[in-house]
Amino acid sequence: MIEKALTSADVEFVTTLHGDEAVSFHVLLQPRGEQADRLLRAIDDVALGELDEAVREGQTPEGEEALSVGERALEVSLTALRTAGSAAEGRLVEEHPLDALKGVVQEVGADEVIVLTDPHYVEEFFHRDWASRARHKVGVPVLKLFSHSKA
């Protein structure tokens, strides 16, 4: 589960987690504009020392615009995973990302879930981030990773 396009560092990291073992990815992307409200995102930016980003939170695409950005981010991520030699398919998630995640885990018989996002300190502190909530819902191990750099 991701919220923006994977960077090359992210792709290298997730594709090498299991050594030479063949791995296929089923990517769910929920565009960032739909995932949390602006105030929480701005607090995260301030906590990371990214004051310029906090100021620009009002410019984060939402609604239909976020879906268009999300579609491009998903395609970039799938292409990067495939180029790295992994099987990859995916879809955008507009509502209830954890329900969609649980459905995919059951549908494909996933062995584990990787949640790869930027840090979200407020949600993490209260265990309301995707990874914390998914651990109680999906029935397989959940690995929480932070994106290596900006996409």
Query: So what's the pLDDT on residue 20?
Result: 87
Instruction: Indicate the pTM of the whole model.
Output: 0.76
Reported as type and span, the H/E element at residue 116 is strand 113-117
Domains of the chain and any CATH numbers:
8-46+67-146 (3.40.50.620)
Amino acid identity of residue 63, one-letter, is G
Q: The tokens of 86 are what?
A: 């992994």
pLDDT along the chain (151 residues), means of 10: 92 93 92 56 59 52 62 95 96 90 96 87 64 89 82 45
State CA 145 to chain mean position distance. Answer: 9
Residues in the chain: 151
